[in-house]
Structure 1
């Protein structure tokens, strides 16, 4: 190996500084060949909250679709951004708990999410052809809970203030924001189908900061106050136990003010899981050898 200190003594200072700058700039180019990826997601969406007796009720699985772009920084680190649309739902009527059956609430909601984050790959995909990975980031999403009436018509729940949101009698209960941040995270596996085609399967959880994905969180408010402030429809959809007409549950009346309607101990969650397919491009010449070393001519030229 050449003696750098001796070499420095025989090279003019200006030239030496230029050499150092070029080496530092060329290092990342000679080490890696970065790739872009563009692709789609097709899978399912689920929800966890006050209308699920279990952590997740798979009977209310709905579809989810999405688009994404990614940037491979090196063999093990990938930046990602994406848009996903899905639907979530839940209903008391399919639970077995007596309290939930008597409450008889239901909801459905679209969820549109934009998210950015990182993926950490455990193996070199080009070498092993497969790698597990974990991912995390930040998301911004919108939702809008609705339900169906006895005739199948859609009823928007948020304007009804079913738990007294925005009513002067309950000043601490503000209308919930239908656009919020979430924390997406999860794990998956990628498979290299071809040099420029990557397939995968991913499970993604979304931690939210709201308990109103399903329009249920706290206690019932006074029936008469709700009737005066929001009308008959608000009373009808704050408590639907009087619609139950079966042998397992008797007909019920509207609960007194302060009776438990939901629980704000835990926030609601939503999940996107499914398959991904990505086309990767860029990264220099010479085919799609993902981390092929670049030629020296690809380094910046200054003189």
Structure 2
């Protein structure tokens, strides 16, 4: 029985030995946004920085579990859109993004054998955000509390309560990692984050009645719900849109992306096949 157990463990050595590896490190790169204020899928003129911490554990040569905490930003402005109608809407926003995620990587190649591998990853994340817009003095105005589309107002029960600032996203993407030294692993990754909210940018559906918004939230809410009077594309200053006029589109939820360079430090065994050899020595018969 002892020999049988030893033989089974010996066969499993290439997988078990690699499961002892932990990696700690970080990622630095860029963040982008896709939503109602971006006419293109991604508007790279509003690319913002991103930084994160990562912890990974190799389960076997092809499966790696991961967790991370990341900060980034999402931003957009109608001024950068080509459509005159969107420019006339004149909305903008910026928001810090704080994300914690859990997930897994599927390594395409055996990195200990090849020294590199492409990979795909997926998982689940909890993130927080708070859309703001900049006034004429450069100060940031928080938008959520203004109920710009009637959220939380009794006159618009179909809009529900004010949207939560803590939401779920589904990170997934692709990457490439390379063993730089026995302890250091370098990589690059592109990660998409579809969300379950359409209010990352504080824009989703239609304008609400101006007088109702004024009575419930004050003049500041009216000023930031519609900013078309700040631009003059046709030579005529427009009026606040009537109740129900299209402001955004609820057809698609908002997305954000985190992409960057990763640097990981290996804790535990080396990256060579010597770990399997050392493991087998424990079961010499």
Sort the TM-score into its range (normalised by shorter chain): over 0.9
Structure 1 position 218 matched with structure 2 position 205 = yes
Which segment is superposed worse, 58-67 or 189-198? 189-198
Matching residue of 1:11: none
- Bigger Rg, which one: 1
| Alignment RMSD | 1.8
CA contact (8 A) 1:46 1:88 kept: yes
Aligned partners of 2:271, 2:117: CA distance in 1, in Å? 18
CA contact (8 A) 1:33 1:291 kept: no
Aligned partners of 2:8, 2:177: CA distance in 1, in Å? 32
Task: Give the 3 Å change call, closer, same or farther, for CA 172–275 of structure 1 in structure 2.
Answer: same
How far off its partner does 1:130 sit?
A: 1.8
CA contact (8 A) 2:18 2:61 kept: no
Matching residue of 1:239: 226
Q: 2:37 aligns with which of 27, 37, 51?
A: 51
Matches within 5 A, 1:60-139: 60-139=46-125
Aligned partners of 2:48, 2:197: CA distance in 1, in Å? 21
**Count of aligned positions:** 279
Aligned partners of 1:177, 1:226: CA distance in 2, in Å? 20
Aligned partners of 2:110, 2:7: CA distance in 1, in Å? 26
Matches within 5 A, 1:284-295: 287-289=270-272, 292-293=275-276, 294-295=278-279
In the superposition, the TM-score normalised over structure 1's length comes to 0.87
Deviation string for 1:28-60 (max 9, x for gaps)? 446433211000100000000000010100000
Aligned partners of 1:109, 1:249: CA distance in 2, in Å? 32
- SS, match of residue 263 in structure 1: coil
Matching residue of 1:10: none
Matching residue of 2:127: 141
Aligned partners of 2:122, 2:279: CA distance in 1, in Å? 34
CA contact (8 A) 1:102 1:249 kept: no
Matching residue of 1:203: 190
Aligned partners of 1:58, 1:81: CA distance in 2, in Å? 27
Gap runs ≥5 in structure 1:
1-15
Deviation string for 1:174-193 (max 9, x for gaps)? 21111011100000111111
Task: Give the 3 Å change call, closer, same or farther, for CA 97–291 of structure 1 in structure 2.
Answer: farther
In the superposition, the TM-score normalised over structure 2's length comes to 0.92
How far off its partner does 1:23 sit?
A: 5.3
How far off its partner does 1:101 sit?
A: 1.1
How far off its partner does 1:250 sit?
A: 4.0
Task: Give the 3 Å change call, closer, same or farther, for CA 141–291 of structure 1 in structure 2.
Answer: farther
Task: Give the 3 Å change call, closer, same or farther, for CA 291–116 of structure 1 in structure 2.
Answer: farther
| Superposed structure 1 runs of 4+ greater than 6 Å apart | none
Gap runs ≥5 in structure 2:
none
CA contact (8 A) 1:68 1:83 kept: yes
Task: Give the 3 Å change call, closer, same or farther, for CA 249–211 of structure 1 in structure 2.
Answer: farther
